[in-house]
Structures are given as structure tokens and as C-alpha cells.
Amino acid sequence: MLKIRPLELDTLRENVVVLARGCRDLRPERMAGSRKVEVSAGGRTLYATIIIADDGLLAEDEAGLPLPLYRRLGAPAGALVEVAPARPPASLDAVRRKIHGETLSAAELKGVIGDLVTHAYSDMEIAAFLIACAAFMTPEETLWLTEAMVVSGKTLKWPRPLIADKHCIGGVPGNRTSLIVAPIVAAHGLLFPKTSSRAITSPAGTADTMEIFAKVDLAEDAMRAVVDRCGACIVWGGRVDLSPADDVLISVERPLSIDTAEQMVASILSKKKAAGSTHLVLDIPVGPKVKVKGAEQALRLRKLFEYVGERMGLSLDILLTDGSRPIGRGVGPVLEARDVWQVLSGDPAAPQDLADKAVKLAGRILEFDPALPGGRGEARARELLQSGVALAKMEAIIEAQGANSAPPKLGALVHEVLAGADGRVAMQDCEQLCQIARLAGAPTDPGAGLDLLKGVGETVRQGEPLYRIHGMDQADFDFAREAAEIDPGVAVVRP
């Protein structure tokens, strides 16, 4: 038994416990070969990785708890904590069966997810589970996995029978429609509590862009207060502890580039169900350089979403949209926020494609309203946008969440990527443009990104700029310039 000493260290999602080399109750050889230890206090046990400190950081009777483990354990500083070698989680037997191509039951998948959220698995064991599922997974297993992920964290309840939401599976630069859809839907009178992720592999997520306007790191009580006042919110979902197993899986999926249809469905629908959504419009962009490449893949994904969603009691409206080119002109938080505000405020410079797509998606959500005559959704959405009512609602949401008093500025480092010949823009490579924007520093540097000056089909003269790269850090900016010189991500064909 050791005394808890909180450490001002952020180990991100990882549970880590730090012990002194001379710990009075620790024999280093006893821990040899143990990737995990059990940390117990106040009737709660969590799994953690052990680190040994040699520099006098801790006394021999202390256990150092970095912030994530300290918060999750919930015991006060100075309280006694027990550290012991971890027993292998029983659910690993199910993982081994899955590796051998067997189908798992609902109970077995629930056991795996339960052990994941207590951090009982090493990254190697999580990777083994993900790769085994990527090799073979039935629709029923996808459903059971989704259900298990929902119950792994909180489930929000709302006082109305119709809770609307919208989600895009991603991959299209600048596709920041949620920040326009939310105020339109709330202005109509439907409840739209939007919990969004930060960017993982893209130059900006919905939460990253909303943070240009307002605070997004809201606890559940603050989030509910905003929804009660405005009918909608746009907040970061990580603070609300919705489907925490998804966050654990994603942290291993991304480095391995694992993104199967089954894991995508489980990830998205578990978050939406946990957020209390009852009706969801799902945007699936289809294009050569996004996640869904063609019609056959899109149909398979759509049917899997419909199968799982229906059995979980979600009303789904799925749209297959054009993913062959960016939406809007900005790529990166500040630039995407600019586009959003131009659309909401009716600025003549607003990107029309972003406005049209947002109105279409909002209209599909409004069609869920039983009081609205059928087929009137898109017209109603456009009316709310053009009248300024949606802008007023967005201003109210921003005020309720806490307006950003010092929004970040556009990066001052600027480089223009020029056309090499007269002609017409024939193609914009979504994947390459996202990569250049990320190399420039987006979304970590909110003012970094790309300002697209020419779109597909537009004519261009030799030496005329196709887009501008904005950066805030010289090293990142140089990386982006070099990548654009090798492959600008825009093809110009001669007339």
C-alpha cells in the first residue's frame, strides 16, 4: 500500500503509475514481464502501465499518479493505493478466437469492450483485436460491438422524442456544414445537441472550427444549459465521455491505417446513440481520393449503417454526396470558420457550394419534423438561412457556450501555388490538399491551412495562383511548400 501523489503530467489517454526504484513494497524482478499493473483505491481498480523513477521524484512509500489516472481513480492525494501485477483480462480468450476467424457473441464483445475502457489491454492486444475484426466480421458482430461501445460510457437523455443530428464520414477538405446546419435546425425548433470530434487525420474537425468562435470544451451540465437556452450546441464530445471505447480503438486504428466499414459504423453510431440522438442524417462522400471510392463500396456501407441503425432504434437518412472535390474555399480552422460565417451572414463572397450543401443537409433533417409538410424541408432551411434567423441563432449559441474573446488569426506566412500553364482546373486531389494543409500546421495551428482560389472547371492563366498556403510556424510552413512543389494536388489541362 502506497500513498497517492498527484503528478502534473498529462499522459493523454494512457493510465500510467510512477514508482520509485527503491519503492519499499516493490521488487523490480516481481514486475518483470508485466505490461500492466492493477491500481486499486476506494473500491475502484484500474489498469496502468508502470514507470520506474530513479531521480528522487518520489519517496519510497509513494505512488505517482499522472493526471489521467488520478482523475479516473477518484481518490484524494495522500490516500492509500495498492499496486499489483495485473491478471490477464479474461476477454483475451475471445480475441484469440477472433484471430482464428471465429464469430464472437454479444457477451464476448461486451467483455472485450469492458476491458478496453479499463485500459486492461496493451496497444499490441488492441491492434490484434482490430486486425482480426478487419479480416472478418459479420453484420451481427458489428451490431453487438456498437451496442457494447454505447454502454461503455455515458448515455445522454433529452426531454423530447425527436433529437436530431448530422454526421459526415469525412475526407473532403472544407466540408464544414455542421456549423451551418446546427443553427438552421435549431432556428426551426428541433433539438440539435451536436457533439463533435477534433480532427484526427484531417486539417480541421467540427470542434476545431467551432473553437474559433466559442468554447467547445464543455462539461455535461454546461452543455445541457446551452441546449436548454438555444435548442442546439456544438461542443467537443471528448469531455462528455460518450463511447470512450471508441477513443481507445481510434488511437490504435489511425497509426495502423485501419478504417474498415464495420469499425466506421460502430464508431459513428455508438457516439450518436450515446449522445441521445434519435434521428440522424448521414453524409457519405464518394470520390477517388476519399474513404468511399465508388458506388459498390458506398452501397455496402450504406446497407451496414441501415442494418445497425435500425436495430438500435435510430432513424437514418443516408446521402451519397460528391467527394471528388473540396467544399468551400478554406482548409484549416480559421479559413473554414471564415467560410461558415460568410454563408451564415449572407456575404456575397460566401462559397455557394458550401451554402447549397448545408441547406440540403439541413432540409433533410427538417423533413424529420412531423409538423412540416413533406418536401418542404430544403425550402424551409433556405428561408431560415437567407432571412438571417440562422445567423441570430448561431450568435446565441456562441454567446451561450462562451464567445472566444481572442480568436486566432490567419497565419502570416504565405506562399502562393501557381498554375504552370493556361488552361482549366480539371481536378483537385482531396487527399493531397488535406496533407499539405496538415503539413502547414493545421489544425494544431488554427491559422494554418489552404485558401483555395480556383475550383474545378474554372479557367486559369499561367502564373495565376491556384491556392495560398498559410502557416504560423516556419518549419511546418516549409514542409507544406515542399510537398506542394512535388505534388500541388491540382491538375490544370490545356483548353
**pLDDT confidence of residue 35:** 67
**Edge-to-edge strands, sheet with 490-493:** 459-460, 423-428, 490-493
List, in sequence order, every beta strand (DSSP E) within 377-479.
Answer: 413-418, 423-428, 449-452, 459-460, 465-471
Query: Which of residues 28 and 78 earns the better pLDDT score?
Result: 78
Enumerate residues 6+ apart whose C-beta is below 8 A from 158: 191, 193, 227, 276
Cell of 278: 434519435
Position 37 confidence tier, pLDDT thresholds 50, 70, 90? confident
Give φ, ψ of 198 to 5 degrees.
-85, 165
Three-state secondary-structure class, residue 368: coil
Position 30 confidence tier, pLDDT thresholds 50, 70, 90? low
Q: What is the mean pLDDT of residues 63-75?
A: 93
Q: What is the mean pLDDT of residues 29-47?
A: 78
Query: Which of residues 133 and 11 earns the better pLDDT score?
Result: 133
**pLDDT confidence of residue 254:** 77
Enumerate residues 6+ apart whose C-beta is below 8 A from 235: 194, 195, 196, 207, 210, 216, 217, 218, 223, 226, 401
Q: What is the mean pLDDT of residues 162-183?
A: 96
Q: Note if the bond before 443 is cis, omega within 30 degrees.
A: yes
Position 34 confidence tier, pLDDT thresholds 50, 70, 90? low
* 22 has pLDDT over 90: no
**pLDDT confidence of residue 200:** 74
Q: Which of 259, 356, 422, 478 is catalytic?
A: 259
Amino acid letter for position 204: A
Closest residue by Cα to residue 201 from 134, 297, 290, 275: 290
**pLDDT confidence of residue 442:** 96
- In words, the CATH class of domain 164-401 is alpha beta
Q: What is the mean pLDDT of residues 23-30?
A: 66
User: What pLDDT, in 10s, does the model give residues 118-167?
Assistant: 888 888 899 999 999 999 999 999 999 999 999 999 999 999 999 999 99
Cell of 274: 450515446
Q: What is the mean pLDDT of residues 447-460?
A: 97
Cell of 199: 480532427
Q: What is the mean pLDDT of residues 394-418?
A: 97
Domains of the chain, by residue range, sit at: 2-85, 92-136, 164-401, 413-493
**pLDDT confidence of residue 247:** 85
Position 412 confidence tier, pLDDT thresholds 50, 70, 90? very high
Position 1 confidence tier, pLDDT thresholds 50, 70, 90? confident
| In the chain, % of residues over pLDDT 90 | 80
**pLDDT confidence of residue 57:** 87
DSSP class of residue 33 equals: T
**pLDDT confidence of residue 28:** 54
Position 21 confidence tier, pLDDT thresholds 50, 70, 90? confident
Domain 2-85 matches domain 164-401 at the CATH topology level? no
Instruction: Confirm whether 259 is a catalytic residue.
Output: yes
User: What pLDDT, in 10s, does the model give residues 226-249?
Assistant: 999 999 999 998 788 888 898 889
Cβ(451)–Cβ(203) below 8 Å:
no
Q: In a 10 Å sphere around its CB, with 0-12 CB exposed, 13-18 middle and 19+ buried, how is residue 257 labelled?
A: exposed
Three-state secondary-structure class, residue 169: coil
**pLDDT confidence of residue 216:** 96
* 87 has pLDDT over 90: no
Q: In a 10 Å sphere around its CB, with 0-12 CB exposed, 13-18 middle and 19+ buried, how is residue 470 labelled?
A: buried
**Dihedral-angle region of residue 457 (phi above 0 means left; psi in -120 to 50 means alpha; beta otherwise):** left
* 355 has pLDDT over 60: yes
Pick the CATH number of 2-85 from 2.30.40.10, 1.10.4160.10, 2.40.40.20, 1.20.1440.230: 2.40.40.20
Residue 215's CB is within 10 A of a number of other CB atoms, namely 17
Enumerate residues 6+ apart whose C-beta is below 8 A from 334: 212, 407, 408, 409, 410, 411, 446, 447, 449
Position 31 confidence tier, pLDDT thresholds 50, 70, 90? low
Domain at 413-493, CATH homologous superfamily: Pyrimidine nucleoside phosphorylase-like, C-terminal domain (3.90.1170.30)
Enumerate residues 6+ apart whose C-beta is below 8 A from 46: 15, 38, 39, 40, 69, 72, 73, 118, 119
Q: What is the mean pLDDT of residues 277-299?
A: 96
Amino acid letter for position 414: V
Q: Which residue's C-alpha cell is 455515458?
A: 154
Position 215 confidence tier, pLDDT thresholds 50, 70, 90? very high
Q: What is the mean pLDDT of residues 94-106?
A: 96
* 279 has pLDDT over 80: yes
* 307 has pLDDT over 70: yes
**pLDDT confidence of residue 29:** 55
Q: What is the mean pLDDT of the chain?
A: 94
Among the residue ranges 19-28, 150-159, 294-303, 369-378, the one predicted with the least confidence is 19-28
Bridge pairing between strands 62-66 and 2-7: parallel
Q: What is the mean pLDDT of residues 200-204?
A: 86
User: What pLDDT, in 10s, does the model give residues 43-55?
Assistant: 899 989 888 888 7
